[in-house]
Structure 1
Amino acid sequence: MWLGSADTFCTQFRLRSGQVLALQCTAEHLVARQDGGTDCRENVVAACRWCNRRRHARPKAMPVDKYRDHVAWRVKQGRWHGFDAASKGLVDLSLLEEARNRKDA
């Protein structure tokens, strides 16, 4: 994800402008405001624009743990963001696995 210059991020990771916009950092509400979620620290995390929109575009947003597993599965298959984000160094698969292991512990 990026907050600063889209051009710098684009160059660093060899992305097209359309790809880099989906990776812009946003504030993701774990419980959406429309569902009673607040802006408190425990309810807001960083997420790329793509993930934020995709999770809440479903008829019913997936629970956080289930969505994280879904994203990890798609990333491992090279099918997230419409390109293989892991091969470009944009996704650290070990962090996704670590998060899953913490959940299972």
Structure 2
Amino acid sequence: MPSTKAIKNLRNQAALEQGWRCYYCQLPMWDASPKEFMNRYGMPPGLTKRFQCTAEHLNARCNGGEDVAANIVAACLFCNATRHRTKHPLDATKHASVVRSRMAKGKWHPPQVIAALGNRGEPPA
């Protein structure tokens, strides 16, 4: 079983490749500095926490997924946790489809998030 450091390295590699945007909702994430994220987007701590970068296994470990770069993407804490909250989680592709559909309708993150991040996570002008 890989170390926590190895998973963190795989997560950071994925986050860099994804431009530090969540694999599912495509909004920006933070790793080391929630305060910097809060200041940049004017978001309160409770909402900021949901955008912490996590390692997401495309094929879950419980289904035989491995801790390798091809199976790890970076996802915000909210999207990752929401995927695994049910007894029978959707596979990553189906979950991404659900998230993006709900994002398009403004029904995934609270309205305050969209107000702070805009549709693409850019700070308001």
Structure 2 length as normaliser, TM-score?
0.66
Distance 1:91 1:72, change over 3 A: same
Structure 1 length as normaliser, TM-score?
0.77
Which one scores higher on RCO, CA 8 angstroms, separation ≥ 6?
Answer: 2
Residues matched between the structures, number = 93
Choose from 66, 77, 82 the match for 2:94. 66
CA offset digits 1:9-51 (Å, max 9, x no partner): 0111111100000110000011111221110111100000011
Deviates more, 1:66-75 or 1:40-49: 66-75
Counterpart contact for 1:75–1:85, Cα < 8 Å: no
> Where do 5+ consecutive residues of structure 2 fail to align?
1-28
Secondary structure (helix, strand or coil) at the match of 1:15 reads coil
Deviates more, 1:69-78 or 1:39-48: 69-78
Identity across the alignment (%): 34
Counterpart contact for 2:47–2:113, Cα < 8 Å: no
CA RMSD of aligned residues (A): 1.9
Query: Which portions of structure 1, spanning 4 or more consecutive aligned residues, are displaced by more than 6 angstroms?
Result: none
CA distance in structure 2 between the aligned counterparts of 1:28 and 1:45, rounded to whole angstroms = 5
Choose from 70, 79, 104 the match for 2:107. 79
